Structure 1
């Protein structure tokens, strides 16, 4: 067992079923083992990825992280990426369930471009941190912390990215080599509460942050899961696979499907489960994007749904008479980002 695995071995005992939100405000850390990292380097790395993804990579600087969708020619998302630049390399983070297939698919289009793609997941630990003690701890490792959402700071101890807040406290993602992490493992155990990664995913739900995984690939056009609202689509950049469909969805009339946050009392909630409205109980009106057990042992979900059904009818999980979803406000508004 590696030092990193040993460090977080007991973390799975601390999850939403036996913690309260106020405990998290004090400071916590978790290992995001469900995430993988790909690295692109070479003279054409930025231009190659710029032509494949929904966001701008040619004007990316060293202090930013951004989201991007990788789509089929029909505009359906094969993956969602968080990406950033470190020195001359571009790092792409995605669900571990998709990484091998994504790397293989991207490699097919490299052709004569001067770019090398490699899986660097085994070289680094990906950590999620939040709360007051987490900020204090990170400041002991970095000279400063990123202050704005999606800003990045890098140094000898890796890269730290400010992500969307959750549980009434700032959150940070930290990518650090296993060797560097091993050197401070005792300090982490002393100063921070180690928790299960489900806490981090629950925070993403309350922050309205979707991620495409194996069960949900090719299910959504980016706007259906609010991806442009979190900065994942640049409507001024050049072509990429599915760009025409994504642009048409934005410009031709009001968007009719969106992603919302919901609570539901159920035995189990799985990604890609369908939801049904009383307005039309025969046809599904949406689909679960992600779900995690909440602090009351029920489920918090991100659900893609027809706006009309969200606003006007009862919505049920799984069946037309299944458990009823209770919708919560998103932390951001439904806006037209092109205006």
Structure 2
């Protein structure tokens, strides 16, 4: 069965389906600290974290990967969320010494067997760190993001961008699209399990709702990985149905999907008590058949 698998050697992925928002200025960390779920103040140059940007009700405008450079902070998101998310991020910037614009550099991925050793030899780093012109971020073993304002002459074979995002799906890494904005609190995307939420940092937009979900057990949904077969193209926002006896009932929405030769891997937000052997299909493709896959990390509240 085709599945998103690591290439046999370090392979270059040109990442076009990513947007980078840059924050500069003396107040950049202080400003962002009051907007997002992660502890921005705790980051030193060369460090990175996942995080979320919420509305006052604790629902996500976006989730992101945050990179801390010497003179700026970079937020990596899906491009589709920017129309609504960016004005919210800029809303109070007039009161702070912060500039918010688009990062002029490029983003590529490198993945495949031996990539950790290749990165160490090429850039002299063993983990997430600054490199000349930008930053190298270790996503997982043998998989890295490179963000740079300088040209990257890497001399590696090229891979399909869809595989990169498929590997994120297998890793249980969420990517919110515009269709999901205002639907989920951060814990529904497992951001607490991915170290994307600080519960000690103090106030930020939506913080009370996020904290209540943790301390009062108010959240009953989580991100799951599913795999199986499908005939029709699958997109973010498509409805999933779960089998209950002889009937099917709506259960959640597709977050991200990877398809190849009729095989399908996807992430979806589902009830936390979903049985491990549950059967799923797509509402618009009744012939589809999907099963839960093990998450590569433990779910925590």
Query: Do both proteins adopt the same fold according to a TM-score greater than 0.5, normalized to the shorter chain?
Result: yes
Contact 1:25 1:130 in 2 (8 A): no
Q: For residues 108 and 157 of structure 2, what CA distance do their matches in structure 1 show?
A: 13
2:108 alignment partner, one of 120, 127, 133: 127
Give 1:286's aligned residue. 252
Give 1:226's aligned residue. 190
Q: After superposition, give the CA deviation of every residue in 1:189-248 in whole Å (9 maximum; x if it has no partner).
A: xxx220111010000001000011112222211111211111111111111111111111
Q: For residues 322 and 227 of structure 1, what CA distance do their matches in structure 2 show?
A: 32
Q: For residues 202 and 316 of structure 1, what CA distance do their matches in structure 2 show?
A: 19
> Displacement of 1:63 after TM fit?
3.0
Q: For residues 115 and 285 of structure 2, what CA distance do their matches in structure 1 show?
A: 44
Give 1:155's aligned residue. 131
Q: Does 1:63 align with 2:27?
A: no
Decide whether aligned partners of structure 1 residues 142 and 320 sit closer, same or farther in structure 2, where only a CA change above 3 A counts.
closer
Aligned residue for 1:250, secondary structure, equals: helix
Contact 2:225 2:294 in 1 (8 A): yes
2:34 alignment partner, one of 51, 57, 79: 51
Give 2:279's aligned residue. 314
Contact 2:228 2:264 in 1 (8 A): yes
Q: For residues 174 and 203 of structure 1, what CA distance do their matches in structure 2 show?
A: 16
Give 2:178's aligned residue. 214
More helix by share: 1
| Stretches (4+) displaced over 6 A | none
Q: For residues 115 and 304 of structure 1, what CA distance do their matches in structure 2 show?
A: 35
Contact 1:309 1:315 in 2 (8 A): no
> Displacement of 1:157 after TM fit?
4.8
Q: For residues 205 and 335 of structure 1, what CA distance do their matches in structure 2 show?
A: 19
> Displacement of 1:254 after TM fit?
6.9
Q: Does 1:180 align with 2:151?
A: yes
Does 124-133 or 98-107 show the bigger shift?
A: 98-107
Does 198-207 or 53-62 show the bigger shift?
A: 53-62
Contact 1:29 1:134 in 2 (8 A): no
Decide whether aligned partners of structure 1 residues 65 and 180 sit closer, same or farther in structure 2, where only a CA change above 3 A counts.
same
Give 1:171's aligned residue. 143
> Displacement of 1:258 after TM fit?
1.2
Give 1:97's aligned residue. 80
Does 266-275 or 98-107 show the bigger shift?
A: 98-107
Q: For residues 37 and 15 of structure 2, what CA distance do their matches in structure 1 show?
A: 24
TM-score normalised by L of structure 1? 0.81
The unaligned stretches of length 5 or more in structure 2 are: none
Q: After superposition, give the CA deviation of every residue in 1:238-277 in whole Å (9 maximum; x if it has no partner).
A: 1111111111111213742111111131122211112222
Q: For residues 154 and 285 of structure 1, what CA distance do their matches in structure 2 show?
A: 42
Q: Does 1:114 align with 2:97?
A: yes
TM-score normalised by L of structure 2? 0.90
